[in-house]
């Protein structure tokens, strides 16, 4: 069973009489232990695709299965439960609650995934941010914020990690930590889907998929 399946995804946006086709029949399958990079020019549909794969946005056509569970067109509370247990989301920003320290952000994610008894220290060490576990996001540097977000995304050991430009604005040390963590996930059978412009990530991944105007051009 694939970690993630997306079949014939369509997504339309309307502004007055104008219609934008953000996704036009995207189909993809990602296996366990596979790292896939989705690349393409700005406006090609990468972020929209990630949002649909995460269940944060509903496609207008098609469906998404994660770890054998249908994510699409389910009540929000059902999508949220599936997302918390089976999907890790690593964004360029907004991965952390600013009123909680780093460790409590990780604890919250573990609780949402039904793993409240799991120690947050494992994820904090994996992301090399344990030494800043009691700091709040506003007290962290850019590299520390990225590592804290990584700890949250990986804390529940999700079947699928969805990452949006994870190396786009980080220092070399943080990039090294992130790639090491993704390699460790690959070895354990975790699937990772990355939206990125990075040619280095494209070469490093197991497979790459090119999006243009909401369609898969290659991959």
| pLDDT(219) > 70 | no
pLDDT in tens, 162-217: 999 998 888 888 999 999 999 999 999 999 999 998 888 999 999 999 999 999 98
96: in domain: yes
149: in domain: yes
Total tally of structural domains belonging to the chain: 1
- Domain range for 91 is 33-57+76-218
Average pLDDT on 88-110 reads 91
CATH label of the domain that carries residue 142 = 3.40.50.300
Strands (E), 33-96: 35-39, 61-66, 69-70, 87-90
109: in domain: yes
pLDDT in tens, 144-168: 999 999 999 999 999 999 999 998 8
Determine phi and psi for 193, rounding to 5 degrees: -120, 125
Query: What's the Cα-to-Cα distance from 76 to each of 25, 65, 80, 85, rounded to whole Å?
Result: 23, 15, 6, 14
69: in domain: no
Alpha helices in 136-171 (DSSP H): 142-154
Structure tokens at 150: 């990584």
Closest CA to 71 of 61, 56, 60: 56
Closest CA to 142 of 154, 155, 129: 129
20: in domain: no
38: in domain: yes
Structure tokens at 78: 């059902």
Q: How far apart are CA 149 and CA 90, in angstroms?
A: 6
């Amino acid at each position: 069973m694939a970690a993630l399946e997306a079949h014939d995804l369509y997504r339309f946006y309307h502004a007055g009489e104008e219609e934008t086709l953000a996704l036009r029949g995207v189909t993809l399958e990602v296996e366990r232990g596979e790292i896939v990079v989705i690349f393409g020019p700005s406006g090609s549909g990468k972020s929209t695709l990630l949002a649909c794969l995460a269940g944060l946005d509903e496609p207008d056509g098609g469906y998404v299965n994660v770890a054998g569970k249908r994510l699409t067109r389910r009540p929000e509370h059902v999508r949220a439960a599936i997302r918390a247990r089976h999907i890790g989301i690593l964004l360029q920003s907004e991965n952390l609650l600013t009123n909680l320290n780093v460790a409590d952000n990780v604890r919250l994610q573990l609780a949402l995934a039904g793993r409240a008894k799991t120690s947050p220290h494992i994820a904090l060490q994996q992301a090399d941010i344990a030494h800043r576990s009691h700091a709040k996001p506003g007290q962290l540097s850019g590299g520390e914020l990225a590592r804290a977000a990584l700890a949250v995304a990986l804390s529940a050991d999700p079947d699928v990690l969805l990452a949006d430009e994870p190396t786009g604005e980080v220092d070399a040390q943080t990039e090294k930590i992130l790639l090491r963590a993704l390699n460790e996930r690959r070895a354990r059978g975790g699937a990772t889907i990355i939206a990125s412009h990075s040619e280095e990530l494209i070469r490093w991944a197991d497979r790459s998929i090119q999006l243009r105007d909401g369609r898969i051009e290659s991959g």
